[in-house]
Amino acid sequence: MFIHEDSPRLSVKPTTAAEMLGLSRGTLANWRTEGRGPRYIKSGKHILYRVSDLEAWLDAQPTIGGVA
């Protein structure tokens, strides 16, 4: 099946999500158990992250430093 990369339904596994966010897979796992971090989908034993949810979560994080 082909999913267009602009599709809001494009989902990735935790390893890929962690790489996209610059985090470890373990950090994402810890955040899931703590109710923190980006939204995710759990289907049976499978965990998926929508790319659009990763982008939204990243955009919502406070910016530290930089030029005002």
Quick: pLDDT tens for 9-35. Answer: 799 999 999 999 999 999 999 999 999
Domain residues for 45? 11-60
Q: Does 49 fall in a domain? A: yes
- Note the pLDDT of residue 2: 42
Report the domain count for the chain: 1
- DSSP letters, 8-21, are TT-EE-HHHHHHHH
Q: Does 39 fall in a domain? A: yes
Closest-CA residue to 26 (of 34, 36, 15) = 15
Q: Does 34 fall in a domain? A: yes
Q: Does 6 fall in a domain? A: no
β-partners of residue 59 are none
Q: Does 68 fall in a domain? A: no
Question: Which H or E element spans position 50?
Answer: strand 46-50
CA separation for the pair 36, 38 (Å, rounded): 7
- Note the pLDDT of residue 4: 47
Residue 6 banded pLDDT, cuts 50, 70, 90:
low
Q: Does 2 fall in a domain? A: no
* % of the chain surpassing 70 pLDDT: 84
Q: Does 40 fall in a domain? A: yes
